[in-house]
Amino acid sequence: MSPDPFISRRRQRSRRPQFDPEALFPAPSRWSPTAFYRGLRSAGRILALFAWGTFSGWAQALFQILPGWMHIRMPVIFWKGVCRILNIEVRVLGTTPAATTPGLKQRPVLFAANHSTWLDIATLGSILPTLFIGKQEISTWPLIGSLTKVGGTIFISRNRQTAEKEVQFLIKRLQKGYNIAFFPEGTSSDGTGVLPFRASLFTLAKPRARKGVMPDHPIPLVQPISVAYDRLEGLPTGRNRRISVFSWFGDMELVPHIWNLGKWRSMRATIVLHPPIDPKDYPSRKSLAEATHAIIRKGNEDINQQRYEHGVLAETR
């Protein structure tokens, strides 16, 4: 009986050498010159972040009392500086709606993005003149707490007793023409996928309807945004490096994460700004959250699978 040719071909394929992406990033010896220079690079960057954050904090305090909109533009300048210090290239695909400058009479925007690391605020903040929503405990974190305060983050407690008061505060920001960015997952993931969205976080887009009473604030558009870190020192980022280098989640310590991140020469974040959607087209916050999640998840997968060629989504079959 002759051997099955299909089985033979399958066995031949199984004997092919397997490529390990980790081989592109060999770990240097603890006492090697490479390890020393990496540590020196990280220390220098952390000192630069402290210096830049201190300077920007004083500048922002001054702009808050001066007329004009420089206090809105300053966070964008600040986050651009943070990305420059860490040598993060931010590749942007897509465009934002026209409503990006507070004070103009146009519809505000809620930017909804996936979340895997504190770097998401830096990369998004470097391209979007917007306020961020963050949990209250972030304000007490070393270094990151100070940076996010300068970068225009609104901290909320997520306490039921203060929830209505916090929503009203955010509504007033929308009424003044501000845009707001938030992370519907409610926490950070390991970067390999997108966690389910919390429909309650879409309250600003789909406020609770009161019988016979119209909302007293402009209903914002919702723009889904996919964020992924797809290059490390010029090479594609695999699953393992996405988790070990970029992602910050669970019970991970913050300071060691910043220290290890600062050792790498260069990184790239790809941000896809999907077309905005109108909350009026969805009957509930749950359906709006599900539609937003599907768009962001697909975009995140496309980035991680290297489906964007020269900024254009390649056709997949």
Q: Are β-strands 88-94 and 267-273 bridged in parallel, bridged antiparallel, or unpaired?
A: parallel
Q: How far is the CA of 15 from the CAs of 4, 8, 9, 10, in angstroms?
A: 17, 11, 10, 9
What residues does 269 pair with on adjacent strands?
A: 90, 229
User: How many residues are listed for the chain in this entry?
Assistant: 317
Neighbours of 164 (CB within 10 A): 10
Q: Return d(Cα 174, Cα 163) in angstroms, integer.
A: 17
Q: Give me the helix-helix angle, 33-65 and 254-261, nearest 10°.
A: 110
- Residue spans of the chain under pLDDT 50: 6-8, 10, 14, 99-104, 212-213, 315-317
Handedness of CA 189, 192, 197, 202 (dihedral sign): positive
Domain ranges of the chain: 33-303
What residues does 153 pair with on adjacent strands?
A: 132
Stated pTM of the model: 0.82
Instruction: Indicate the CATH number of 33-303 among 1.10.760, 1.20.120, 3.40.1130, 3.40.50.
Output: 3.40.1130
Q: Which residue type, as a one-letter code, is found at position 225? A: I
DSSP 94-118: E---S--STTSSS--EEEEE--SST
Query: pLDDT tens across 222-277, in order?
Result: 999 999 999 999 999 988 889 989 998 888 888 899 999 999 999 999 999 999 99
